[in-house]
Amino acid sequence: MSNVTIKDLAKLSGVSLATVSRVINQKGYVSQELSAKVLRAVEETGYRPNQAARSLVQRRTDSIGVIVHNLHDPFFYDLLRGFEQAAAEISYNVLFASVLGGDTKSKEKYLQYLSGGVVDAVVMYGSYMSDEEMLRCASPSSSVDYMLIENDIQGFKCNKLLINNVQGAYSAVEYLMGKGHTDIAHICGNPNKKVTIDRLNGYLAAMRDKGLEVQDGYLQQLSADYRNGYARMKSLLALKNRPTAVFCSDDAIASYAVRAALDAGLRVPEDISIMGFDFQTNLPERYRGPDLTTVKQPLYQIGFDSITLLAGQLKKGRFDQPERKVYDTQIVEQETVCGPCR
């Protein structure tokens, strides 16, 4: 209500604006006496500094913004834990913005808003092609430090945290082959995301390298969202040359593939093996099937590192050499893969 300013404090305590500022920010030397007077005035008035004025002159906000799609998506569980843990360990404020459905207009709005001096650095999660233009548009005028996760925009110089998707997918298929599978299908995700392409290529490379053929109908492309994994699996099951193993582009898809197999009266993994990717802690929509054998990416670590690295750069002042880190993946053996039973 009152909207007290340092001017009021100065008048009330009989000192200059500069002194008030010094006391409030605890920088510069102020005598005990004046300091006490100012502090009393702060107490009396309930004064709180205006952040806008402060960041306007200081050209920094001590805050970091994080932009993700669909904050509610259980996929973000581990990533969020990482962001939050890192946030708790630094003095910067961390603010999250969620772009529902990945709507481009909305994402652009948030990116430009945050880049306009609302935060000192921005983390963007996701492998979205459309981010490139957005960033080229928003970044030149701002002095914000960017951190891209899972999005290696060529020629755009900023911090990047990536995982080795091709290698991860390759190793998954190798793992299935090691169990004796040769009829291995793939349900790939949204083909407009780099991750999807990379994982698809990992699958294809492994098949090729081992001299295995990608049989008719073995490549299923998801439409809409991961729930469509159910229908894609149904299609695979209807094939004459039904695969004995299916590698899915991510765990959410895999969880729906398992549902489809179980609903079709098959046992998983005895009748059909299914692999995912991510090692996502909370699967969507109360998945109750067997725990997915999958390729783990270090989501918690990535979340944690993104914030921690940015905080370090901000503290240092100039961020001339952006970080670029590629994380390795790892097979997690759980309950949805075994050898083929035919």
Partner DNA sequence: CTGAAAGCGCTTACAG
- Contacts to DNA by CB under 7 A: 3, 5-7, 14-22, 24-25, 27-31, 33-35, 47, 49-50, 53-54, 56-59
Q: Which residues of 310-336 are buried (b: 16+ CB within 10 A; e: fewer)?
A: bbebbeeeebeebbeeebebebeeeeb
78 touches its own copies by CB under 8 A = yes
> Which value, in Å, is the radius of gyration of the alpha carbons in the chain?
26
| Residue 36 tokens, joined | 């006490």
Q: What are phi and psi of 215, to 5 degrees?
A: -70, 165
Partner residues linked to 210 by β-bridges: none
Q: Which stretch binds its own copies (CB under 8 A): 162-170, 242-250, 276-284, 315-323?
A: 276-284
Q: 35, 93, 167, 221: which one contacts its own copies (CB under 8 A)?
A: 93
Q: Tell me how far CA of residue 197 lies from CA of 127, 148, 193, 217, 309, in angstroms.
A: 10, 18, 7, 18, 28
3-state secondary structure (DSSP) of residue 268: coil
3-state secondary structure (DSSP) of residue 295: strand
Q: Which does 142 bind (CB under 5 to 8 A by kind): DNA, its own copies, none?
A: its own copies
Q: Which does 109 bind (CB under 5 to 8 A by kind): its own copies, DNA, none?
A: its own copies
Q: Which does 25 bind (CB under 5 to 8 A by kind): DNA, its own copies, none?
A: DNA
Q: Between 47 and 203, name the residue whose CB sits nearer to DNA.
A: 47
Give the whole-angstrom CA distance, residue 45 versus residue 27.
22
String of contacts with its own copies for each residue 315-334, x by CB under 8 A: --------------------
Q: Which does 7 bind (CB under 5 to 8 A by kind): DNA, its own copies, none?
A: DNA
* Smallest separation, CB 53 to its own copies (Å): 5
Backbone conformation region of residue 27, classed left if phi is above 0, alpha if psi is from -120 to 50, else beta: beta
Q: Tell me how far CA of residue 110 lies from CA of 13, 88, 115, 288, 309, in angstroms.
A: 41, 23, 8, 36, 22
String of contacts with its own copies for each residue 34-53, x by CB under 8 A: -----------xxxxxxxxx
Task: Please give the size of the binding site for its own copies, defined by CB under 8 A.
Answer: 64
101 touches its own copies by CB under 8 A = yes
Q: Between 45 and 215, name the residue whose CB sits nearer to its own copies.
A: 45
Q: 34, 39, 95, 219: which one contacts its own copies (CB under 8 A)?
A: 95
Q: Between 13 and 273, name the residue whose CB sits nearer to DNA.
A: 13
Q: Between 98 and 221, name the residue whose CB sits nearer to its own copies.
A: 98
Q: Between 94 and 295, name the residue whose CB sits nearer to its own copies.
A: 94
Give the whole-angstrom CA distance, residue 175 versus residue 234.
24
Check: CB of residue 264 under 8 Å from CB of residue 234: yes
Check: CB of residue 104 under 8 Å from CB of residue 115: no
Q: Which does 288 bind (CB under 5 to 8 A by kind): DNA, its own copies, none?
A: its own copies
CB-facing half-sphere around the CA of 218: CA atoms within 13 A: 20
Check: CB of residue 243 under 8 Å from CB of residue 176: no
270 touches its own copies by CB under 8 A = no
Beta-strand (E) ranges in 256-317?
A: 273-275, 294-296
Q: Between 142 and 196, name the residue whose CB sits nearer to its own copies.
A: 142
81 touches its own copies by CB under 8 A = yes
Other Cβ atoms closer than 10 A to 91? 8
Q: Which does 276 bind (CB under 5 to 8 A by kind): DNA, its own copies, none?
A: none
* Smallest separation, CB 147 to its own copies (Å): 17
Which residues of the chain form contacts with its own copies (CB under 8 A)?
A: 1-4, 45-53, 55-56, 61, 63, 65, 70-72, 74, 76-78, 80-81, 83-85, 87-88, 93-98, 100-101, 103, 106, 109-110, 112-113, 115-118, 137-138, 140-143, 281-286, 288, 291
